[in-house]
Amino acid sequence: MKEKQYILKKSETFNLKDIFECGQCFRWNEEENGSYTGIWKENIVNIKKEGQDFVFTGICKNGNFEEEIQKYFDLDRNYEQIKKELAKKDKYMKTSIAYGKGIRILNQDLWETIISFIISANNNIPRIKGIIEKLAKAYGNTIEWNGKKYYTFPTPRQLKDVTVEEYRKLGLGFRDIRLYETTKMILDGRVDLQELKNNPNTTEVREKLLTLSGVGPKVADCILLFSDLKRLEVFPIDVWVRRVMNDLYIKNEDEAKVSKKQIEKIAKNKFGNLAGLAQQYLFYWRREA
DNA sequence: GTCCAGGGAATCA
DNA sequence: TGATTCCATGGA
């Protein structure tokens, strides 16, 4: 396969660490030279910052290299405008946006995002990454690039005959049955992924996602926000978001007593249809800074 | 040994 | 609806 290249000129809304370490994706890894290499669909790409520019080098089996990149990295969206809008809300938004100013919300494959965030339940990011890598190595396709092997995320069909026991051996723990059941539901059409993409009604799509095994409110919202469903108005609430929302806005001395509804209400009133972006700036800032 | 991790589902009030 | 409890696993 022929290696391709794409160059993104200096940008105030594109930063490798912010994009790949903000918790939205699990298949990008930092190289020794500070660049990142990752895989999505059949694309394997390394991104290296050269001076002020970003150099994308890699292979692309289907489609146009540049178009694939523009879509995946959400390059057509005006993040400068979004940041400006959110920064007006309050000093905390201003601070968190300044910290994660290069975040972009990726358009990740819906199926891959569903499975990845089912695995994320009550789990930590390094282990989530490890499990997904093992899953890809066991059941995905192998692509070689620069003498290294990479593995595509397995399709629903590639997981069709995988047993619960085999999942357990990969280290999935109690999530094994969830993966098994959800794969079945998608394969037999009880949940039609293409239909979800075509449905503009986020509430309806969310309801449908919640029928999947292992998908609760938080995972559903992550899927809505981080996949190519790209619903920026949802507000996933995990332990970190609960923490930061309580610290900043609610100030309950017992964090565990803060209800989801309380948080949701504040998020909606304050951030409106950009709540998902706000959530991501707050999450990244609270977890890293 | 204990606690925690981008929670969900079952159970019970 | 809302609160509790259990669920594998690995690292700190």
**DSSP letters spanning chain A:** ---EEEEE---TT--HHHHHSSSS-SSEEE-TTS-EEEEETTEEEEEEEETTEEEEEEEESSS-HHHHHHHHTTTTS-HHHHHHHHHTT-HHHHHHHHHTTT-----B-HHHHHHHHHHTTT--HHHHHHHHHHHHHHHS-EEEETTEEEEPPPPTGGGTT--HHHHHHTT-GGGHHHHHHHHHHHHTTSS-HHHHHH---HHHHHHHHHTSTT--HHHHHHHHHHBTT--TT-----HHHHHHHIIIII--SSGGG--HHHHHHHHHHHHGGGHHHHHHHHHHHHHH-
pTM recorded for the entire structure: 0.97
A21 CA → B13 C1’, Å: 42
Task: Please tell me whether any atom of strand C lies within 7 Å of the Cβ of A134.
Answer: no
**pLDDT tens digits, A270-281:** 999 999 999 999
**pLDDT tens digits, A215-227:** 999 999 999 999 9
Task: Please tell me whether any atom of strand C lies within 7 Å of the Cβ of A189.
Answer: no
Q: To 10 degrees, what angle do helices A91-99 and A275-288 make?
A: 70
* pLDDT for position A289: 82
A210 CA → B7 C1’, Å: 13
Residue closest to sugar C1' of B6 by CA: A238
Strand C nucleotides with an atom less than 7 Å from a protein beta carbon? 2-3, 7-11
A246 CA → B10 C1’, Å: 29
A259 CA → C2 C1’, Å: 10
What is the spatial distance between Cα A60 and Cα A227, in angstroms, rounded to a whole number? 20
* pLDDT for position A256: 86
A225 CA → C2 C1’, Å: 27
Strand B nucleotides with an atom less than 7 Å from a protein beta carbon? 4-9
A21 CA → B10 C1’, Å: 34
What is the share, in percent, of chain A residues with pLDDT greater than 70? Answer: 100
**pLDDT tens digits, A154-206:** 999 999 999 999 999 999 999 999 999 999 999 999 999 999 999 999 999 99
Query: Whose C1' is closest to the CA of A173: which nucleotide?
Result: C8
- The domain spans of chain A are 4-76, 110-226, 239-288
CATH number (3.40.50.720, 2.160.10.10, 3.30.310.260, 3.90.226.10) of A4-76 reads: 3.30.310.260
* pLDDT for position A7: 98
A86 CA → C11 C1’, Å: 36
Task: Please tell me whether any atom of strand C lies within 7 Å of the Cβ of A127.
Answer: yes
* pLDDT for position A257: 87
Task: Please tell me whether any atom of strand C lies within 7 Å of the Cβ of A265.
Answer: no
Residue A95 has pLDDT above 90, yes or no: yes
Q: Identify the architecture of domain A239-288 in CATH.
A: Orthogonal Bundle (1.10)
Residue A254 has pLDDT above 90, yes or no: no
Confidence of residue A38 (pLDDT cuts 50, 70, 90): very high
- What mean pLDDT value characterizes chain A? 97
Q: What CATH class does A110-226 carry?
A: mainly alpha
Residue A108 has pLDDT above 90, yes or no: yes
Same fold, A4-76 and A110-226: no
